[in-house]
Amino acid sequence: MSSDEAIQQIIKKIVLRNAIEYGGSAKYDVVISKVVGLRPDLRPMIKELIPLINKIVDDVNSLDFADQEKMASKLLVFQVVDKAANRKEEPSLPPLQGATVGEVVTRFPPEPNGYPHIGHAKAAIIDQEYARMYEGKLILRFDDTNPLNEKLEFYNAIKEGLEWLGIVPDLIKNASDDIKILHSYGRRMVIKEDAYVCTCKSDEIHSMRAKGVDCPCRTLDSNDQMERLEKFFDGSFEQNEAIIRFRGNMSDLNTAMRDPTLFRIIDADHPKLGRSIRVFPTYDFAAPVEDSLDGVTHAMRTKEYELRNALYFSVLKSLCLRQPKLMEFSRLEFEGMPVSKRKLKPLVQDGLVAGWDDPRLPTLAALKIRGVLPEAIHKFILSLGISLADTKPPFESLEAYNRKLLDKISLRLFFVKHPVEVRIRNPILGKIELKNHPTAQLGTRNVQISDRVYIDRADADRLARGQEIRLMEMYNIQLEDKIQEENGIDHLRVINTGQEIKTNIPKVQWVSNDDMVPFTVIVPDKLFINGEFNKDSLHTYNGIAESYVSKVQLGSHIQFVRFGFCRLQTNGVAIYTHG
Ligand SMILES: [Zn+2]
């Protein structure tokens, strides 16, 4: 089989399975995201594949349900697609080097300087997963030693985000709790002459680092150093007047070792310490010392810290502290959804997004209101493993996990985004009972039906005179006339042609004129395209839905049939999750 044929075959299987799951009618957008989810290797060519996918969907949808089932069993659709999905279903991490059951201690050390996002989720999930695998301990340690960036609001946001994700640390602490201990280790390093107080101006330091030249402070005798050290801690220096630097090697090829800063003086309100402290360690100093003192056995961080590993161990060596194992993994962000504060903060500040929980953002608060389930995030992240390859997976690759979970718990309701009135000449009147889910026990609802329903404009446009379609779960209608106005269709005139289930006619969702409420769905799109903010990244559809939706609890997940999964945000408004 050529590779083209193989691709065609896999698409056909996905379409067939989808058609069978959706009662005989496969959906283009679901198929496309399934193709990408199950075969990430096809993603780069997905644009070229779309016409082929659409054609296969049309071909399959034109078959009778019985024929679809026959073809599916011939092609072993369920076995094959299940195998692909199951391979990713229960992903787990590779074993940890040098780990002993019962003794592993991991830590998640976020700086409380912003809202937690998908990148934090990756680190926290991996840390927790390893602690669990080895029946060990997970520490949540706020890395809060820069009062210029940190706020109480962010400690809380991180705690809430982790709680939502199902991360349960065995210990929660702040690096700032240990500030006095960190100070004493810092002093010790200067006394040992493994560090020194530097009073050079920051631009001089910068240029000496670039040139690989020592600064004069490095060679001061120990009396002068001790005097400077006292002044550093007793408040004699102003902010930016002096720093403590590691005595590395100013011509080291690894620039992270060119006498990096270990402590600086910052006059600002610290969220936990107030103004009581002015001397703060940098991450380069606090992280190794805290990891060691906290008993961390396996310290994981993203690989952009790789160059700083040598410094991590040098600090511990100088202080004769135990060395944890350091491990790296790649950062995680979705394509078109950057996590960097530099990119996101201006959007929030300038009101281009509604806040840190705007559904277009990759923050946990945003993913939550968008309808992404924590369990899907866990499965997705574990499926990525701890590879070092820097990839930006598409959001669709998370969707594949989420859809599987949402499918079981989402109410199936009807929403029409661009309503067109349909007048039925010989209607059935009264109430009908519809199931809220084809298989799960999610109850039923009564719908008051009348001689008028609304269907979507796209469906109305496609409908030709004399053509028959099925109003899903109700009856079939045949178009007699399309009444046009200047701006398009005004209404359709149809006749009811009976309830017989015909699998070869299109099935459309509808909303009854006597049982409807105005309903808005907000659809988030890619936030960035080619690195630029996408101004057209939020679409709003003001349509109509069954009035039953008003009884649904806020926060519930709904699958609007032939539209997509949504999460009910407020009364009359849902946010689109995905197709
Ligand atoms: Zn200096």
pLDDT tens for each residue of the chain, 579 residues long: 567 887 888 888 889 888 877 777 888 888 888 888 777 778 888 888 888 999 999 999 888 877 887 888 777 666 544 444 444 446 678 889 889 999 999 999 999 999 999 999 999 999 999 999 999 999 999 999 999 999 999 999 999 999 999 999 999 999 999 999 999 999 999 999 999 999 999 999 999 999 999 999 999 999 999 999 999 999 999 999 999 999 999 999 999 999 999 999 999 999 999 999 999 999 999 999 999 999 999 999 998 899 999 999 999 999 999 999 999 999 999 999 999 999 999 999 999 999 999 999 999 999 999 999 999 999 999 988 877 777 789 999 999 999 999 999 999 999 999 999 999 999 999 999 999 999 999 999 999 999 999 999 999 999 999 999 999 999 999 999 999 988 889 999 999 999 999 989 999 999 999 999 999 999 999 999 999 999 999 999 999 999 999 999 999 999 999 999 999 999 999 999 999
Q: Ligand 1: distance of its center to the CA of 245 in Å?
A: 9
Instruction: State the Cα–Cα distance between residues 113 and 237, nearest whole angstrom.
Output: 26
Instruction: State the Cα–Cα distance between residues 261 and 242, nearest whole angstrom.
Output: 10
Q: What pTM does this model have?
A: 0.82
Q: Using the 8-state DSSP alphabet, how is residue 175 labeled?
A: G
Instruction: State the Cα–Cα distance between residues 329 and 453, nearest whole angstrom.
Output: 54
Q: Which residue in 328, 282, 283, 324 sits closest to 301, CA to CA?
A: 328
The pLDDT score that the predictor gives to residue 91 is 66
The pLDDT score that the predictor gives to residue 43 is 80
The pLDDT score that the predictor gives to residue 538 is 96
**Torsion sign across C-alpha atoms 254, 259, 263, 269:** negative
Q: Residue 30: how many CB atoms within 10 A of its CB? A: 23
The pLDDT score that the predictor gives to residue 2 is 61
Q: Ligand 1: distance of its center to the CA of 319 in Å?
A: 23
The pLDDT score that the predictor gives to residue 363 is 97
Q: Which residues neighbour 340 within 8 Å (Cβ) at sequence distance 6 or greater? A: none
The pLDDT score that the predictor gives to residue 522 is 98
How many helices and strands, by DSSP H and E, does the chain display?
A: 17, 27
Q: Ligand 1: distance of its center to the CA of 259 in Å?
A: 10
Q: Ligand 1: distance of its center to the CA of 181 in Å?
A: 25
Q: Ligand 1: distance of its center to the CA of 553 in Å?
A: 63
Q: Which residue in 516, 522, 503, 278 sits closest to 419, CA to CA?
A: 516
The pLDDT score that the predictor gives to residue 6 is 79
Q: Ligand 1: distance of its center to the CA of 192 in Å?
A: 18
Give, in degrees to the nearest 5, the angle at Cα 537 between 371 and 399.
35
Q: Ligand 1: distance of its center to the CA of 150 in Å?
A: 28
3-state SS class at 133 = helix
Q: Please, which contacts does 354-359 make with residues 24 or more away whose CB atoms are closer than 8 Å?
A: 356/115, 356/157, 357/115, 358/524, 359/522, 359/524, 359/575
Give, in degrees to the nearest 5, the angle at Cα 193 between 188 and 197.
85
Are the C-beta atoms of residues 92 and 107 closer than 8 Å to each other?
no
Kindly list the strands in the beta sheet with 243-246, ordered across the sheet, starting from the edge strand earlier in the chain.
195-198, 243-246, 261-265, 279-281
Q: Using the 8-state DSSP alphabet, how is residue 350 labeled?
A: T
Q: What are 170's two structure tokens?
A: 């065995």
The pLDDT score that the predictor gives to residue 36 is 81
Beta bridge partners of 270: 274
